[in-house]
Amino acid sequence: MRINDSKLIAAIDALGVDHKVGVSLAQKTSLEIGGTSDILVIHRHETLPELVHLLKQEGVPHRFLGGGSNVLLPDGELPWVVLQLARQDPDVRFEGNNVYVDCAADLGRTVTTCAKHDLGGMEGLIGVPGSIGGALRMNAGAYGTQIGTYVREVKIFRAASGRIETLTGNEINFEYRHTSFAPDDIMLSVRLELLSKPYSEILQGIRICNEKRRASQPLNQKSAGCIFKNPPGGSAGRMIDELGLKGHSVGDARVSDRHANFFINAGHATSADMLALIADVRRRVREKYGVELEEEVIVWKAQ
């Protein structure tokens, strides 16, 4: 969606928010799928309430995009203006075992920065692509670790109230790939409490997780990680694999040969290709196993 109203453009500019016109969003996502839209890059969190107020007042639909590593965007001109947080420098600050992290920070880099300060616990998350904010919203997890365990305080922009609010860790429910945040809440910063551990020990844990991941996941291909959540007590990857669907494709959207719950953009896949592949695999799993798989990837749908 384009912002054309000159008064609105001037008001956005006055807030110090960058207005980027007609950006290709495929370049902003790990799947490299998505059409175009104007992007508003927010440098100071405090400007969000006023910015969102302006957009609402002018009837401009908007959505927030984090690191782009767990999302499937539509093709063509998007029906929303896209908001993104600018990276802060520095984006991590230490106080004893507490680490204050900006939500635009890269998750993997945060894990290694903390390791250098002899603070660990999140080693399992090392290869999970994306931002701290995205990890928080989804309660990202891998190899027995989930980020929610370490969350003590989160600052969010709460769309429902139009205000910036601070929640304590125990006010938030962290479940398997799900949290109690509202879909339109925007994660701004977080206080994590990590474990004191020697750097060498954390590094060893990081190496083990990296090796496991390299052995089982298609890391150098365009994907959004696992497409489906695991059903209770089951494994989406195993079921899809047992159905013989590795390499199965719709257009350039393909089930990975390495891990069947990773769907790859093998060339120039469109959103429509990927959605058709998701629907096809879901139907086959339902017919064979009687299990309704739920997407793990966040699909942006026009209402």
With residue 142 as reference, give the H or E element that holds it. strand 141-142
Interface mask toward ligand EPU for 107-146; x: CB under 6 A: -----------------------------------xx---
CA distance 197 to 119: 6
* Half-sphere exposure at residue 2, Cβ-oriented, CA atoms within 13 angstroms: 7
- 37-66 positions binding ligand EPU, by CB under 6 A: none
At 296 the three-state DSSP class reads coil
Part of the chain binding ligand EPU (CB under 6 A), chosen from 24-32, 55-63, 90-98, 229-237: 229-237
CB of 235 to ligand EPU, least distance (A): 4
Q: Is 229 in the site for ligand EPU (CB under 6 A)?
A: yes
Answer whether 29's CB lies under 8 Å from 223's CB. Answer: no
Q: How far apart are CA 83 and CA 42, in angstroms?
A: 7
Contact between residue 194 and residue 152 where contact means Cβ atoms under 8 Å apart = no
User: Nearest CA to 262 among 213, 300, 302?
Assistant: 213
Per-residue DSSP letter, 138: H
Q: Which of 238, 283, 286, 288 binds ligand EPU (CB under 6 A)?
A: 238
Task: Give the tokens for residue 259.
Answer: 């891990």
Q: How many CB atoms lie within 10 A of CB 176?
A: 13
Please give the Cα distance from 16 to 18 (Å, whole number).
6
216 binds ligand EPU (CB under 6 A): yes
Give whichever of 189 and 223 is closer to ligand EPU, judged by the CB atom: 223
Of the pair 1, 208, the CB lying nearest ligand EPU is at: 208
Assigned token pair, 275: 């959605």
Member of 34, 66, 133, 225 binding ligand EPU (CB under 6 A)? 225
The pattern of x and - marking residues 173 through 212 that bind ligand EPU according to CB under 6 A reads ----------------------------------------
Distances (CA, A) of 170 to 52, 101, 108, 120, 166: 28, 18, 25, 21, 12
DSSP β-ladder status, 178-179 and 174-175: antiparallel
Site for ligand EPU in 256-285 (CB under 6 A): 259-261
**Closest approach of Cβ 229 to ligand EPU, in Å?**
5
The residues, ordered by sequence, that sit 6+ positions from 233 with a Cβ below 8 Å of its Cβ are none
Q: Which stretch binds ligand EPU (CB under 6 A): 18-26, 75-83, 98-106, 233-241?
A: 233-241
Nearer to ligand EPU, 179 or 261 (CB): 261
* Stretch of residues binding ligand EPU (CB under 6 A), selected from 152-160, 178-186, 196-204, 226-234: 226-234
Which is closer to ligand EPU, CB of 210 or CB of 235?
235
Nearer CB in complex with ligand EPU: 77/292: 292
Structure token pair of residue 9: 């453009």
CB 140 within 8 A of CB 130: yes
User: Smallest gap, in angstroms, from Cβ of residue 240 to ligand EPU?
Assistant: 7
Q: Which is nearer to ligand EPU, 36 or 70 (CB)?
A: 70
Interacting residues with ligand EPU (CB under 6 A) = 142-143, 216, 225-226, 229-230, 235-238, 241, 259-261, 296
